[in-house]
Chains A and B, each alone.
Chain A
Amino acid sequence: MNTTRSGSLTASGAATTGDIAPARDRRHDHGHQTVPSDLTLRVKALESLLVEKGLVDRVALDALIDTYEHKVGPRNGARVIARAWVDPAYKQRLLTDATAAIAELGYSGMQGEHMVVIENSPKLHNLVVCTLCSCYPWPVLGLPPVWYKSAPYRSRAVIDPRGVLSEFGLELPEDVEVRVWDSTAELRYLVLPERPTDSEELSEEALAALVTRDAMIGVTKVKQPGAGSPT
């Protein structure tokens, strides 16, 4: 099965790092102008106003940003998945009470208060979306990528999940059931991908390194070890 990200996704091509402006332009490909140049000024003015009124503390803002830029992200989720692969009792707890099982590894809180883990198998593939906004399990995956919050993904994931998966390079046979989970309430979903077959020798840490954000959203599978570095 082809689990590499094929050229059919319009992406872009791995934008070189630091090349931020073109990335932003791609993201705004709705036939309109680029982000108004005054956004930086508008947000700065709002922040100054709120600080001057004593409504926010600038250091607290820095701490919030630092948390989601550096501390919380998909590596957390990858550790949860790797633990489930090596520890059947943990996996059982994860599938029955995901919030508590994830908290065992120290991940909890905002936008992960009510977690559900859904397990892939050779005959079942799960895919997570939020058609109404951008609901996403922050404690285990961090903040969502732009494509997850975008109109193309939100509109199509429920009506054409196989087409979406195909754009991510994943073609599934018809006898594999595709389940789409639309996060319409306060439950937050994490996909437990299938463990790669050639991974018996790997440590839990090495397994975690194989698990990608995209596999935990359900748009890809976890690659075989040695099949290329995960993103």
Chain B
Amino acid sequence: MNGVHDMGGMHDMRPIQYEENEPVFHEQWESRAFALMRAMRAWQKWPGDAFRHERELITPAEYLRMSYYEQWIAALVELLVKTSLVTRAEVESGKPTPNSPKAIPPLTADNVAPLIARGKPASREVPVVPRFKVGRRVRARNIHPVGHTRLPRYVRAKLGTIERDHGVFVFPDTNAHSLGEKPQHVYSVRFAARELWGEQAARHDAVYLDLWDDYLEPA
């Protein structure tokens, strides 16, 4: 979706605010928000792409107003309700519905370390023929999906070169909406800075993006 989250190339977002010796979390609620999201992911009720998309669905003005972990909490609550893990009434009251069954958490302290160490690879060991070879000139497709996509606006319709084939990965545009993994090749694609931004960019500079087969067409 053409949301405000897709901000590569936008102007006037204010100067970068750097903080020396920044703590991992600024306030306790941020750390709890982080942990709650990770722990609820262990229910495997939604793919990681769905969490990203849920944050994108925050309205633009709110998205820019909210701090990072505020976005996390907003997105988490929406996903919890959508997947029926909790009801809206429960979130509002802070209390479980009377007489509702009590679950057993899938993530215990003992398996936090293994969970983190294992991660959740998005690559897939399935034979899929790559559509492009390294060195091939390609054009990023001029598409504007209304759902989740990882093809930023600033690169659409631009010419680039396949620099590396990373192998086969889950396709976020379908996976985020539980429409299947649609595994396909992801490539590192080099775009000359001047192809993207014109003469104002430095002559030799470049931007590299990791793009799925479905985002590309032969140039």
User: Interface on A for B, CB 8 Å cutoff?
Assistant: 5, 9-15, 17, 20, 23-24, 26-30, 32, 35, 39-40, 42-50, 52-57, 59-65, 67-69, 72-73, 108-114, 116, 129, 131-134, 142-143, 145-147, 149-159, 161-162, 164, 167-168, 174-175, 177-187, 231
Contacts and interface: CB of A to CB of B under 8 A. Distances in A.
B78 interface: no
B122 A114 contact: yes
B177 interface: no
Contacts of B21: 14-15, 17, 231
Contact of B68 (A10, A134, A153): A134
Nearest 8 Cβ contacts at the A-B interface: A131-B8, A185-B210, A11-B18, A45-B94, A54-B103, A109-B119, A14-B20, A61-B35
Contacts of B10: 151, 155
B210 A61 contact: no
Contacts of A17: 21
A162 B204 CA distance: 12
A54 B17 contact: no
Interface string B3-14: 001111111011
Contact of A109 (B107, B116, B202): B116
Nearest to A158: B8
Contacts of B172: 185
Interface residues of B, number: 96
Contacts of B102: 52-54
A10 B15 CA distance: 7
B116 A164 contact: no
A158 to B, nearest CB: 4
B169 interface: yes
A120 to B, nearest CB: 14
Given A23-B26, A61-B39, A155 B11 contact: yes
B166 A43 contact: no
Nearest to A73: B24
A186 B187 CA distance: 11
B100 interface: yes
A108 B119 contact: yes
Contacts of B123: 113-114, 186
A143 to B, nearest CB: 6
B109 A152 contact: no
Given A27-B19, A146-B22, A182-B209, A159 B9 contact: yes
A172 to B, nearest CB: 9
11 contacts: A28-B67, A32-B65, A39-B70, A59-B109, A64-B35, A65-B34, A69-B25, A156-B13, A159-B154, A178-B193, A180-B206
A140 B204 CA distance: 30
B113 A63 contact: yes
Contacts of A10: 15-18
Contacts of B35: 60-62, 64-65
Contacts of A179: 205-208
Of B18, B55, B70, B73, most A-chain CB atoms within 10 Å: B18
B152 A49 contact: no
A11 B19 CA distance: 6
B13 A151 contact: yes
A113 B121 contact: yes
Interface string B169-198: 110100000000000001010000100110
A108 B109 contact: no
B119 A46 contact: no
Given A49-B94, A57-B39, A158-B196, A184 B152 contact: yes
Contact of A184 (B20, B40, B150): B150
Contact of A177 (B34, B150, B188, B204): B204
Nearest to B85: A55
Given A49-B91, A113-B120, A147 B18 contact: yes
B170 to A, nearest CB: 8
